[in-house]
Amino acid sequence: MELGAQLYTVRDFIQTEEDFNRTAKKIADIGYRTVQLSAVGKEIRPERIREICDRHGLKIVLTHMDVNRILYDTEEVIKEHDIYGCSYIGLGSMPGKFRNACWLPYFLEDFKEPARKIAAAGKLFMYHNHNFEFEKINGVTILEQLINSFTKDEMGITLDTYWVQAAGADPVQWIRKLKDRVPCVHLKDMAVSGGVSVMAPVMEGNLNFERILQELEETNCKYILVEQDSCQTSPFDCLKQSYDNVSQLGYH
């Protein structure tokens, strides 16, 4: 498994081409060699993003794309991922209107054709979880309904360790359950500050990452991507601390 950085962590620093280049250099200097694109400035063309990443030795392995582009501009999204050299096309979250018994069936219906087009192009549609997917609708979690409605060739799951824990679920159990659907995983730790759960650099919180990584070795996981939506210090410092901690276990 290759250790990478989810650029959403540094989203404030990738809004212009100049800043994206500066940030890519900092990410590479930490030691990362793979990245996920998310929340990149819209005016930066895919060709320039690829060129900058190549310049700094960074491989683009996953994205988070706008939901409407995946639904209604699927072919162009696929072409952009060809430019990136990226096989995994990600959705960062389910739009709020679908998160109920009335409208969830329409998510399953609406995304079926885009997922099939993406698969036909030799890529995979990836769904990233938060905690709400563990809410049960008619006795079945939303996440289970997703994996029951899409084949493993139509949808992979970018499992987020923090949000699984935040839902009161067991990350190791869900890694085992999704073992053939998790080519990409988000490593994100949970700590406690002032009695409140907060996001933390990997292995600086309370999740058992040695056990999590051991379980991931038994799956189809290729990329373990550090993400921290909110940081108590500089996001670059958080990414470095996570990299240093995880690399000590032999992942680079």
Q: What digits encode the pLDDT tens for the residues 13-47?
A: 999 999 999 999 999 999 999 999 999 999 999 99
Burial class (CB within 10 angstroms; exposed 0-12, middle 13-18, buried 19+) of 22: middle
Q: What is the mean pLDDT of the chain?
A: 98
**Integer Cα distance of 141 and 117 in angstroms:** 26
Residue 65 is classified by DSSP as B
pLDDT at 205: 98
- Give residue 78's pLDDT band: very low, low, confident or very high (50, 70, 90): very high
Q: What digits encode the pLDDT tens for the residues 148-195?
A: 999 999 999 999 999 999 999 999 999 999 999 999 999 999 999 999
- Give residue 107's pLDDT band: very low, low, confident or very high (50, 70, 90): very high
Name 206's bridge partners.
none
Question: Locate tokens 């009161």: which residue?
Answer: 168
- Give residue 99's pLDDT band: very low, low, confident or very high (50, 70, 90): very high
Tokens, residue 96 = 């709020």
The alpha-carbon radius of gyration of the chain (Å, integer) is 17
Q: What digits encode the pLDDT tens for the residues 223-249?
A: 999 999 999 999 999 999 999 999 999
The total of other beta-carbon atoms located within 10 Å of residue 138's CB is: 7
pLDDT at 217: 98
pTM for the model: 0.97
Residue 123 is classified by DSSP as -
pLDDT at 157: 98
